[in-house]
Amino acid sequence: MFSISFITQYLNYLIMKKTFYLLFAVTFFFACNNEPNAGSEENTDQTDETTTDASTEMIEETIETSETINMSAEALWSNMSTLQGIENLIPEVISSSSVEGEGLGMKRTCTLADGSGDLQEEVTKLDPENMVVEVTVNSSPFPVSDYVNTMQIVKGEDENTCKMVWTSKYKCSKDVAPEVKESFTGVINLAYTNMNKMAMAIKE
């Protein structure tokens, strides 16, 4: 799994790379402006521009996962719907958190364990009847935008199990999309694993 700090460092590298290409294109243009072979100069500028645009192309990504959790749907919902204690669920990723308000519109600030920054989140949908909560990430150190996580709990075949359905949607640069998806998917799977560990510890 790629770490959050790796993604941030990789994005910085891409920005530096883009800046280098732009400076090179401008310098080359003025140096060759009086040369007779203007057609070649124009083609070079177009090539550099195309390369730069490709490196910053934004795409929409969706991650859809589900996992059986060994606790009742009601118990899992009572914990998940309040946004409390995420640092206890995934301490490898979140070192601390604080929640303001209750219900729809509540906000949570999460401090990342690697020291790269904070997440500012807000509940933008809350449906207790269908056990659905939507959390929009308003700001983060991740190289993404329009980042929304939707979690739904579905009752299992017996009262001691349920299914967690987790959907993440966001936009990111095409160049970093594979690393971002792998990192986010890894965090989701870690959360599933730790949920079942906590459920087992409660039963014991």
Q: Do 116 and 198 belong together in one domain? A: yes
**In a structure prediction context, what are the per-residue pLDDT tens digits for the chain, which is 204 residues long?**
444 444 444 444 444 444 333 333 333 333 344 444 444 444 444 444 444 455 679 999 999 999 999 999 999 999 899 999 999 999 999 999 999 999 999 999 999 999 999 999 999 999 999 999 999 999 999 999 999 999 999 999 898 999 999 999 999 999 999 999 999 999 999 999 999 999 888 776
The pLDDT score that the predictor gives to residue 53 is 59
Domain ranges, residue 32 = 4-55
**What is the number of domains present in the chain?**
2
The pLDDT score that the predictor gives to residue 2 is 41
Q: Do 113 and 160 belong together in one domain? A: yes
| End residue of a domain, out of 31, 55, 79 | 55
Q: Do 25 and 83 belong together in one domain? A: no
Q: Do 49 and 65 belong together in one domain? A: no
Q: Do 98 and 145 belong together in one domain? A: yes
Give the C-alpha separation, 114 to 187, whole Å. Answer: 14
Q: Do 102 and 176 belong together in one domain? A: yes
pTM over 0.75: no
The pLDDT score that the predictor gives to residue 33 is 45
The pLDDT score that the predictor gives to residue 192 is 97
Q: Do 106 and 185 belong together in one domain? A: yes
The pLDDT score that the predictor gives to residue 54 is 56
Give the C-alpha separation, 146 to 187, whole Å. Answer: 18
The pLDDT score that the predictor gives to residue 55 is 61
> Which string of b and e fits 19-57 if b means at least 16 CB within 10 Å?
eeeeeebeeeeeeeeeeeeeeeeeeeeeebeeeeeebee
Provide the sign of the torsion angle of the four alpha carbons 76, 80, 82, 88, taken in this order: positive
Give the C-alpha separation, 145 to 20, whole Å. Answer: 25
The pLDDT score that the predictor gives to residue 143 is 97
Block residue for tokens 């601390």: 96
